[in-house]
Structure 1
Amino acid sequence: MWLLILFVVIGLFGSESFVEANFTTNCTIVAKGNLKFPKKFSFGVATSAYQIEGGWNADGKGISTWDEFTHNYPEKIKDGSNGDSAAESYRLFELDLQALKQLGVKHYRFSIAWTRIFPTGDIHLKNQKGIDYYNMVINKLLANKIEPMVTMYHWDLPVGIQKFGGFFNSMIIDQFSDYAEELFKLFGDRVKTWITFNEPNNICKSGYAPTLIEAPGVGDYICFTNVLKAHGATYRLYQKKFAKKQKGKIGITLDIWFVFSKTNNTDDVARAMHYNLGLLAYPIFSKSGDFPPIVLKEIEKSSIEEGRKKSRLPSLGEYWTKIIQGSGDFLGINYYTSRYVKPATEPMGKNPSMERDINVQMDFDPNWPRAKADWLYCVPQGLEGLLKYIRDEYDNVEVKITENGWVDSGELNDDNRIRYYKSHIQAVLNAINDGCNVTSYSAWSLIDNFEWLKGYTEKFGLYYVNMKSNKKGRIPKKSALYYKKVIATRSVPNDV
């Protein structure tokens, strides 16, 4: 889930629909077309290792950046907590499996903790008990006809790799692709859906290791470049060594806030789109590859004006452009909310920074229903618009909704979460009815978990977990029962 309130925006360049957001503000959306999802459409739920597994040093597991950060800087977490025990899914996976079976999901998206199977990050130093754990998870999912959807990296970098600079060092390209190759060898005979990285925007803005290192407008672009190269190298490795036999798919998950415009300014919306979605999606899914041309041109111009000898965002170059272009069988989308975009009345953000480069202002509609988190508003029209934009801009690439959810205080009668799911699942169905190639939906999250800098003060789970209890039972909320009905009927029930 989201770590920071990031400046992540996108717009409908070249479409009239972005000019005015003509929709209601009560978390509803009008149904359009067929009332049932296609037979092959897959419903599931999502989690991540650090947020649910606990067992932070159990059975030979190594230390990750999040272990180190929460132990050294507890004051940076809202309630001073950490993921040392969390929901204890490492010890209590059977409880998660029971919840998955109760819901009737067709797939389960989870992440592998790099340090649980390679404690230092070095692939030559394996931890068999960690490997055994993920083999158990995968095998039990398949035994219950639940497809494993595996994220290779969800922010918990081995400290041993972070000491060399992590994603700011190009060494990460080989380190990650070597790690991925081991995952293919260990689990690829059964795992057919792989996600290399979850939310590079957050990875490159301290999501992978919030060590208080800031390099806006420089370091984040270096990080984006290294993430894209590591992803591309991993994809090509899989195609060369494993695809023919294992027959799996590889994608990447991007976090997107959709943007509407009140001012009919296509330039501002286009700039927001190119810098955010385009910065990571364009090199992989566009027909020309590399970063969006307008982004390369503008940042080079700004860099020269700043007295730099070269651009803060260099071109990927011919070699890497070819490696990265087309290196995605699907695009994973984490969508939660939207914003309005308008012209900047003064330079935005620090100089330099990505915010300064984009140079637009964002705002929200005060009438949009807001969650407990101050960044999350219910705007289902944004999800429908985003899916249609991807259809048009990226040749209708296959899209998997890898996260979508609502945060509250953990109450069992969570009607607001039901309203959110109802409207957003309907938005997905509307987009499918309008020709969008969306093949799956993952609700965030299966269970209440450690919500990064918010600790346990904000809850996204369909199942309540009492973090103070040794038993850590999974108690279904009202929303779990609603989502179960969605899955069973393959439709959007009206009851709330």
Structure 2
Amino acid sequence: MGNHHLVFILCLILTCISFADVECVNEWIRNQIQPSTSNKQFPKNFSFGVATAAYQIEGAWNEDSKAPSIWDIYTHTHPERIADHSNGDNAAESYHRFEQDLVALKELKVNFYRFSISWCRVLPYADTSVKNQKAIDYYNMVIDKLLENHIEPMVTMFHYDTPEELSKFGGFTNDIVIKYFRSYADFLFETFGDRVKKWITFNEPFDYCVPGYGNANYPPMIHAPGVADYLCMDNTLRAHASAYRLYRAKYFHSQRGKVGITISSRFYYTPKANEPNDVVDRAIQYSLGWLAHPIFGKSGNYPYTVIEDITSNSMKEGLAWSRLRPLNLYWSKIIKGSGDFLGLNYYTSRYVQMSDPPAGATPSWEHDSRLKYSVDESWKRAKSDWLYCVPQGLEDILKWIRDNYDNVEVYITENGWSDEGELMDTGRIDYLKTHLRAVLNAINDGCNVTHYSHWSLIDNFEWNKGFTEKFGLYYLNMTSENKERVAKNSAHYYRSVIESREISSGDNYV
């Protein structure tokens, strides 16, 4: 390489840094070191989609015999806990306005649409004693309309909205929820499985167990860290595996679908060279590995590190049992291999270090994991205070899954960026562009990634943040009687990628 070439590279790097865009450097370097034969297009069988969740968009919270979920009760009882005192009572009114959502889906030319079914809408008492035909008709309509327009339905069975009926006896801390969920799944497979071939049992167990049963930030507002949240995780895992085994035994032969679970995780980096080498792996095991390891790992149990830490801490606390019970042989056989794919929700990454002394209350997930997290000041931040643009983390976590879970098939079920809702959403386009590049890099490096779903189709109710943070490709006009969905620039960009199957570097996509 000649001196003039080195000078050019140095100038390019200094130019990028002068604009505080570290990712510019990283992306340029990655492009230079990729082999010239590397595929610049997504594979022909790769699927692009978008995602939503029932409580966040449907509205109609008490219509047509729907029973309340814990989020209905929570937002009505504690509006002060929602940033703008809003709720999901009406939201985007998708229960009545699916045709408007369908227009947006068709404009995007997505291959699939990931949406969730409201458990308490179809089964008001959480069991099969009463089946709500109006709700069944609604979801049949959604599924049929999607298929008529060559959009594959990908259905999430549970996305945070636990039926209030289940809270009467402990919700996910009571292992009877395993039977309830298995019965619910049986109903869904029987009712919709002739047309739905992609099922996700649970969305982000960590993100409803720890806030809901640990630190009481989410409903049902149980404050029992290190105990109730662990019971929730454990019962979720068993409920998932029970539903999976039911499908394989009763429905797979005739329906030939796939069943998986969606787990959220960040990737982690060490800020100091002298940090222990295993701290990154430890952090992943305490997030992704907590539930992924029993299903996709070789042991059929929780990660050894997690079991050892929590058992040891439980003994130190004077308990006669571990707060996280290891899986016995019976459950290990049911859970191991109970996933046809791993759904991954990735948004951002963190630096991680060992925390000495351990942070958090005793007991708690923070105390058991003995980890502390930080961010790089150069990372661009979204409207959400937890969300930073770190596309390299997506590429690296996909490679970690490839190397640790026998290259299981991965669906990226959520990935997105929050802002104020502006139509000229250049931040979201930059986020999309760099994260799609990360996915393509991972595919070119042998990772078995087959689906990418952007969060979200439309601006929606963002849990405790209400409508103050917007993730949609489509702006939702909340003040209009018709609740129009208006395409943002990112929607045009995403469509250009789907049509070309290539990551556009230019801006000629509107």
Where does residue 200 of structure 1 map in the other structure? 205
Match of 2:499 among 463, 481, 488: 488
Match of 1:125 among 121, 126, 130: 130
CA distance in 1, matches of 2:139, 2:484: 21
Alignment partner of 1:43: what SS? strand
| 1:432 has 2:443 as partner | yes
Q: CA deviation at 1:207?
A: 5.0
Letter paired with 2:136: I
- Structure 1 residues 345 and 403: CA distance shift in structure 2, 3 A: same
CA distance in 1, matches of 2:24, 2:419: 17
Match of 2:262 among 250, 253, 262: 253
CA distance in 2, matches of 1:185, 1:63: 24
CA distance in 1, matches of 2:427, 2:308: 44
Letter paired with 2:271: K
| 1:163 has 2:176 as partner | no
Equivalent positions of 1:422-461 (< 5 A) are 422-461=433-472
Match of 1:49 among 46, 54, 57: 54
Question: CA contact under 8 A between 2:212 and 2:222: conserved in structure 1?
Answer: no
CA distance in 2, matches of 1:383, 1:490: 19
| 1:177 has 2:182 as partner | yes
Q: CA deviation at 1:495?
A: 2.2
Where does residue 381 of structure 1 map in the other structure? 392
Question: CA contact under 8 A between 1:70 and 1:77: conserved in structure 2?
Answer: yes
Letter paired with 1:166: G
Match of 1:271 among 282, 287, 290: 282
Judge which range, 399-408 or 28-37, deviates more. Answer: 28-37
Q: CA deviation at 1:492?
A: 0.4
- Structure 1 residues 203 and 91: CA distance shift in structure 2, 3 A: same
TM-score after normalising by structure 2: 0.91
Where does residue 341 of structure 1 map in the other structure? 352
Question: CA contact under 8 A between 2:268 and 2:393: conserved in structure 1?
Answer: yes
CA distance in 2, matches of 1:411, 1:28: 28
Letter paired with 1:312: R
Judge which range, 27-36 or 131-140, deviates more. Answer: 27-36
Where does residue 8 of structure 2 map in the other structure? none
Residues 102-129 of structure 1: CA distance to partner in whole angstroms, max 9, x if unpaired? Answer: 0000000000001111112121101100
Question: CA contact under 8 A between 2:212 and 2:221: conserved in structure 1?
Answer: no
Where does residue 360 of structure 1 map in the other structure? 371
Where does residue 271 of structure 2 map in the other structure? 262
Question: CA contact under 8 A between 1:28 and 1:419: conserved in structure 2?
Answer: no
TM-score after normalising by structure 1: 0.94
CA distance in 1, matches of 2:483, 2:25: 32
Letter paired with 1:249: K
Where does residue 24 of structure 1 map in the other structure? 22
Question: CA contact under 8 A between 2:155 and 2:198: conserved in structure 1?
Answer: yes
| 1:148 has 2:160 as partner | no
CA distance in 2, matches of 1:315, 1:195: 24
Where does residue 232 of structure 1 map in the other structure? 241
Letter paired with 1:358: S
Alignment partner of 1:152: what SS? strand
Residues 7-28 of structure 1: CA distance to partner in whole angstroms, max 9, x if unpaired? Answer: xxxxxxxxxxxxxxxx934596
Percentage identity across paired residues of the two chains: 58
Q: CA deviation at 1:139?
A: 0.2
CA distance in 1, matches of 2:223, 2:281: 27
Alignment partner of 1:90: what SS? helix
Question: CA contact under 8 A between 1:27 and 1:379: conserved in structure 2?
Answer: no
Question: CA contact under 8 A between 1:47 and 1:444: conserved in structure 2?
Answer: yes
Q: CA deviation at 1:278?
A: 1.2
Match of 1:292 among 303, 307, 313: 303
Alignment partner of 1:447: what SS? coil
CA distance in 1, matches of 2:504, 2:105: 20
Where does residue 253 of structure 2 map in the other structure? 244
Q: CA deviation at 1:262?
A: 2.5
CA distance in 1, matches of 2:379, 2:477: 30
Where does residue 89 of structure 1 map in the other structure? 94
CA distance in 2, matches of 1:50, 1:162: 17
Where does residue 340 of structure 2 map in the other structure? 329
CA distance in 2, matches of 1:419, 1:207: 33
Where does residue 222 of structure 1 map in the other structure? 231
Question: CA contact under 8 A between 1:114 and 1:157: conserved in structure 2?
Answer: yes
* Gap runs ≥5 in structure 1: 1-22
Residues 157-202 of structure 1: CA distance to partner in whole angstroms, max 9, x if unpaired? Answer: 1111111111000000000010000000000000000000000001
Q: CA deviation at 1:305?
A: 0.9
Letter paired with 1:229: R
Question: CA contact under 8 A between 1:27 and 1:369: conserved in structure 2?
Answer: no
Q: Let me know the Cα RMSD of the aligned residues.
A: 1.3
Letter paired with 1:211: P
Question: CA contact under 8 A between 2:47 and 2:112: conserved in structure 1?
Answer: yes
Q: CA deviation at 1:265?
A: 1.7
Task: Flag the structure with more relative contact order, 1 or 2, with Cα contacts below 8 A and sequence separation at least 6.
Answer: 1
Letter paired with 1:315: P
Alignment partner of 1:385: what SS? helix
Letter paired with 2:368: D
Question: CA contact under 8 A between 2:265 and 2:284: conserved in structure 1?
Answer: no
Could you list the structure 1 runs, at least 4 aligned residues long, displaced by more than 6 angstroms after superposition: none
Alignment partner of 1:91: what SS? helix
Letter paired with 2:413: T
Q: CA deviation at 1:206?
A: 3.5
Equivalent positions of 1:3-82 (< 5 A) are 24-25=22-23, 29=27, 30-31=30-31, 32=34, 33-82=38-87
- Structure 1 residues 79 and 26: CA distance shift in structure 2, 3 A: farther
Letter paired with 1:344: S
